Amino acid sequence: MNPDFAIILNFKLKNAQEIDTDFLVKTARNIGVRAIAADRLENELQIPCAKYSINLVTIATGEDLATTNIIETLVQNRKVGKASIINIAVNSDGSFSAATKEMLEQINSWMHIFGHAFNESTPCNLTVDGNSFILQNRHMPYQNYIYVQKSFPQKIKVNGLTQEPNRIEMIENRTPLTFSYQNGSLIINLETATSSNFPWQIIRVQQHRPEDDIKETKF
């Protein structure tokens, strides 16, 4: 399974009579999901999947989640390098329940802000003090993501970096954060950090990049 599939919507279609496969796949695409599964109609789903560049995968089972625990589950699964496979029940008329719509909207709000970092996060050998944790972009290893709970500490400490980062920012609103670096220890100041009401936020740590060593060319 492609590790960039952080979320897979597992559509439950056995009780549905009127199914708009285009609507189902478009729903996944619109909330930042890169892959879906279903318990039937796999052939019918292939056309809209190709249309919206969504992968159709085969899985055994998923989780029944709700608005109250969806973000926490997404984050904890990603912490250990797992995808979140979410069961999505489809009503007999092809619609979603009010509770499912609310959960999908919560996913959409989260992914609208953090989707790129979230999809491409993978475990790494760096560590963070406290209840936070740090992951790495699997395609750009010079970029790290610190997942921090809403009740921010005043400072967080990252261990294991070999160079001082170029920039550190809250992904939401791209707010820059001040920091200090010495002997492989990075201290990030969160005293002035602001954010929305999500239970988890993500901080981007931009390390030294290969292109930073390219000297300016003058003509």
Residue 214 reports pLDDT greater than 80: no
Per CATH, the homologous superfamily of domain 123-213 is Golgi alpha-mannosidase II (2.60.40.1180)
The whole-number average pLDDT for the span 173-186 is 92
Reduced to 3 states, what is the DSSP secondary structure of residue 99? helix
* Residue 15 CB neighbours (<10 A): 9
Spatial contact of 3 and 122, defined as CB atoms under 8 Å apart: yes
Would you place residue 216 in the very low, low, confident or very high pLDDT band (cuts 50, 70, 90)? low
CA-to-CA dists, residue 44 to 25, 30, 49, angstroms: 11, 19, 9
**pLDDT score of 203:** 95
Give the tokens for residue 157: 């400490």
Return the domain boundaries, the chain.
7-119, 123-213
Spatial contact of 23 and 53, defined as CB atoms under 8 Å apart: no
Task: Identify the weakest region by mean pLDDT among 16-20, 22-26, 193-197, 198-202.
Answer: 193-197
**pLDDT score of 77:** 95
Give the tokens for residue 218: 């003058």
Give the tens place of pLDDT for each residue, 57-100.
998 689 999 999 999 999 999 999 999 999 999 998 989 999 99
Question: Which residues, listed in sequence order, are joined to residue 133 by a DSSP beta bridge?
Answer: 147
